[in-house]
Amino acid sequence: MCGIIGLFLKDQSLQAQLGTLLTEMLVTMSDRGPDSAGIAIYGGDGEVSNSMTKFTLQSNAPHEDFAELAADMAAATSIDDSKVWLAVKDTHAVLTVPAGITADVRASLGEIRPTVRIMSVGEAIEIYKEVGLPRSVAERFSVSQMRGTHGIGHTRMATESAVTTMGAHPFSTGADQCLVHNGSLSNHNSLRRKLIRDGVHFETDNDTEVAAAYLTHQMQQGASLGEALESGLDDLDGFYTFVVGTRDGFGVVRDPIACKPAVMAETDQYVAFGSEYRALVNLPGIDAARIWEPEPATVYFWTH
């Protein structure tokens, strides 16, 4: 069992409340996944711009690793250090750099901070995830104070791999992409081997990372997210309710058996997802929302 929540805002006036709403939804899903929790938030505190790239980083020794990181990265990539910012949040930090140097930053990070891990890369996405109860994870990162356009959260009850920070969801395997999962995949090992042969790199033994990497790989081959999700219905075997995020979009797909629960709500202000209706009860205007259960083997997608 795991819990999933998601909120895609149509009404810009709710953007300042996104973190608060997501936190309430996430905490409500604690019973479904008390071992770790995570959140992907799009937009974040700063302006989203295609002239900048954000790296969300994680460290087990944040004081040492993050202390001089902005300056060290500027030096390592030969960029003016006024163009590199670092915002530390507990074990995570968002490193903002000029666009177009992603590969350079990745390589430099491996040299100057080899133990720091990259949770996400993109113009809009930030990912925060840790082991622990959802409430404590949300508090560590002050999720309730975050703003943004859309966000996806997950509470984990591990079945397929170890309870670690990197095993928590969301998983991000491509720029501004993320995926969370309730369920378990039965063909993840064979699919991982196939993707590794195609040059895909994996961080964990987790089944969900394989699904995320699969979708990213499909999109790198030219598929749209919708097409990648459709082909996932054929290639991913097992139980899943997935919620995916992109820079401007938010999608949901369930396996054909659809035994993992899912409830959606839509109003003029938002589209919301919850593993259970409980997760949605505090959303504004929920009593008047259109509420439905997404159909099995059907791709749902919204964009700004």
Partner 1 sequence: MQTFDLEEQGLRALNQTLHDQANDTNQTSWEIINPRGSHAIAVGLDAPIEVKIKGSTGYYCGGMNKQADILVEGSAGPGVAENMMSGTVVIEGDASQYAGATGRGGLLVIKGNASSRCGISMKGINIVVHGNIGHMSAFMAQSGNLVVLGNAGDALGDSLYEAQLFVRGTVKSLGADCVKKEMRAEHITLLQDLLNKAGANANPEEFTRYGSARKLYHFDIDNAGTY
Interface ranges with partner 1 (CB under 8 A):
257-259, 261, 263, 276-281, 291-293, 295-296
Catalytic pick among 1, 2, 188, 203: 2
Minimum distance from residue 97 beta carbon to partner 1 (Å) = 43
Angle between helices 207-220 and 188-197 (to 10 degrees): 40
Can you spell out the DSSP letters for 132-174? S-HHHHHHHTTGGG--EEEEEEEEE--SSS--STTTSSPB--S
Q: Three-class SS of residue 229?
A: helix
Residues 6+ apart with CB under 8 A from 160: 184, 185, 188, 205, 206, 207, 208
Cis bond upstream, residue 170 (ω within 30):
yes
Minimum distance from residue 91 beta carbon to partner 1 (Å) = 32
Which residue has tokens 């295609």? 50
Give the nearer residue to partner 1 in terms of CB position, either 200 or 291: 291
Buried b (16+ CB within 10 A) or exposed e, 146-174: bbbbbbbbbbbebebeeeebbbbbbbbbb
Minimum distance from residue 28 beta carbon to partner 1 (Å) = 9
Q: What DSSP state is assigned to residue 246? A: -
Residue 259 annotated as catalytic: no
Minimum distance from residue 197 beta carbon to partner 1 (Å) = 35
Active-site annotation, residues: 2
